[in-house]
Structure 1
Amino acid sequence: MLSAPLRLRLIAGSILMLASCTAFAFDFKTVGPRSVILYDAPSAKGGKLYIAPSGMPVEVMLSYGEWVKVRDASGDLAWTEARGLSARRNVIVRVAGARVRAAPEENAAVLMTADKNVLLELIDPEAGPWVRVRHRDGISGYVKAADVWGI
């Protein structure tokens, strides 16, 4: 049987842990102007998994000193140095033929169709049923949030 003070500490610790988990929101970043190496551990001595190209969106899962654990669009987890990431936001198209529209509505004019895995710059990070994006050719409009990854 646990003593009353120990039980109280366990309950308080559990509440704090749950509160910190719900308050923490994952953060999306983009690989900066230079490609970065993704490792299996938070160290340059770790095993090299692959090179992430400039502009690739990643989800930051955990920070550990100067290193961050990230998830890519396919769900793979890896470590990279935080300094290689940018606050600029890109998204990647998850479906074939995602339509970028002139307004955030289904009957708005189609400005372009983006193939699967095309990178789009996220102009407005407010998540809703539609997000505002810009293609590298300068075309900007709205795409369904469900059709892209990185928000």
Structure 2
Amino acid sequence: MSRQMVSGKNRRSLTGAFIAAAMGVLVAGAAIAEQKRGPVTNLPMPRYVSLKAAKANVRRGPSLTHRIDWIFKRRNMPLVVTAEHGHWRRVQDRDGAGGWVHYSLISGNRTVIVQADMLPLNVRPEPNTSIAAQLELGVVANLGKCDPDWCRISAGGYKGWARKSDIWGVAADEVRD
């Protein structure tokens, strides 16, 4: 194995170059963080919302002149906003289906959809606690507190903690009070 000795002067240049490169990464990271805000609302992008209406036309583009591709028909369904343009938001559901909807059809109230059949709602955010209820696959629940691995959800009068990996509508790294 060949090693190359670095003199004190060269070591200082390498240290300076390393610091300059690190500063460049920090500046680039700050620019990326700024780009992750919606141009209309200045809210984080992407972000989770829910469908306020019982019926919402999903359009190919951000205006009434664009063709309706399909209709969302489930009130409170969780969606993720991926783009903004004027009064329009590009959204996707858990299957990746989506398009543009008018902002008045979505709400900031957070909901999740159950992705595991007979999902146990634990009394505490721990795997070996008693179970308050079980939710069927596809149930839409209101989202409450979240820690790194668990979220408190409620549906049909039942409340409990579910693993984040078993629900859709919350980011894996999201923590909520």
Fold similarity call, TM over 0.5? yes
Q: Which moved more, 1:14-23 or 1:71-80?
A: 14-23
* CA distance in structure 2 between the aligned counterparts of 1:36 and 1:132, rounded to whole angstroms: 28
Equivalent position to 2:97, from 64, 76, 96: 76
Tell me which residue corresponds to 1:148. Answer: 167
Q: 5+ residue gaps in structure 2?
A: 1-23, 38-43, 171-177
TM-score computed with the length of structure 1 as normaliser: 0.81
Of Structure 1 and Structure 2, the greater strand share is in: 1
- Distance apart, 1:40 and its partner CA: 1.3
1:144 CA drift (Å): 0.5
Matched, 1:44 2:54: no
CA apart distance, 1:25: 3.9
Relative to the length of structure 2, the TM-score reads 0.70
Task: Give the Cα separation in 1 of the matches to 2:92 and 2:77.
Answer: 11
Q: Which runs of 5+ in 1 are unaligned?
A: 1-10
Q: Report the secondary structure of 1:106's partner residue.
A: coil
Does structure 2 retain, via aligned residues, the 8 Å contact 1:127–1:145? no
1:64 aligns with 2:85: yes
| CA RMSD between the two structures | 2.1
Bigger relative CO (Cα 8 Å, ≥ 6 apart): 1
Aligned-residue identity in percent: 22
Tell me the equivalent position of 2:34. Answer: 20
- Is the CA contact (8 Å cut-off) linking 2:125 and 2:162 kept in structure 1? yes
1:110 corresponds to 2:131: yes
| Number of matched pairs | 137
Distance 2:33 2:51 in 1: 30
Q: Verify the 8 A CA contact 1:69 1:77 in the aligned structure 2.
A: yes
Given that residues 30 and 88 in structure 1 are in contact (C-alpha distance below 8 angstroms), is that contact kept between their aligned partners in structure 2?
A: yes
- Higher Rg: 2
Matching residue's letter, 1:37? N
Q: Which of structure 1's runs of 4+ aligned residues deviate more than 2 A?
A: 14-25
Q: Give the 3-state SS of the residue equivalent to 1:83 in structure 2.
A: helix
